[in-house]
Amino acid sequence: MNYIIYTDFACPFCYIGHKMLQRLEQETGTHFTYRFKQIHPDVPDQGADSRYLFSGQRIDAMNTDLMEKGKEYGIRPAVGKTLYNTRLATLLFYYLEQHEPESVPHYIDAVYQAHFTDEEDISSAALLEKVLKTTGLDPQLAETARKDPNAMDALRQAVREAFIEGADIVPTFVVGKKKFKGLCSYEDLRDAVKEEIPK
């Protein structure tokens, strides 16, 4: 069965979507394939002011919504002052998926937490090296992933697949032939998954 989430480490709504899928897997045993892509690939390495994309008023409204939706999962994600370039974090995800797949769930959790709970710079190689160390992996894998052509190919493939699926915003959830663009309700996603589970 086709269960996919198109997502990005830069997106606080995606963090909530990730927590939703963790709960859904516990409840139904359903595992989603994660396909990370960069929604803001043009953000410079040093980051950019969030107001580059959103007005202060819109950021306040988004953060109120995020606070309310995150409460159910015990998290408080928010649009911070800085947008970070997620290229290295994304390449490292694809490298780990290919070479250390058992570490991927912890890695995803750790990067989201570093970004939205600890308010750290997830574009930083030093931060990602620290994440790798807490995962029990060699910190040097961050630099390996940066240079790995297969990780880059996987990212490009994910971008192509997202385009074909029409997943132009994140998170986008694909459940069989159904598609949920943006952060849908847990109940709607769970019901769609249960409809797909063979009786």
Q: Which residues contact 68 (CB under 8 A, 6 or more apart)?
A: none
**pLDDT tens per residue, the chain (199 residues)?**
789 999 999 999 999 999 999 999 999 999 999 999 999 899 988 888 888 778 888 899 999 999 999 999 999 999 988 899 999 999 999 999 999 999 999 999 999 999 999 989 999 999 999 999 998 999 999 999 999 999 999 999 999 999 999 999 999 999 999 999 999 999 999 999 999 887 6
The predicted structure's pLDDT at residue 129? 98
Closest CA to 96 of 111, 84, 85: 111
Measuring CA to CA, how many Å separate 138 from each of 67, 103, 113, 128, 144?
A: 35, 12, 20, 11, 10
Please give the DSSP secondary-structure letter assigned to residue 177: T
d(CA 197, CA 199): 6
pLDDT at 27: 95
Amino acid 199: pLDDT: 64
Domain at 3-196, CATH class: alpha beta
pLDDT at 52: 74
For 12, 54, 66, 96, 118, the CA distances from 107, given in Å and listed in that order, are 16, 28, 22, 9, 15
pTM for the whole thing? 0.94
What is the residue extent of each domain of the chain?
3-196
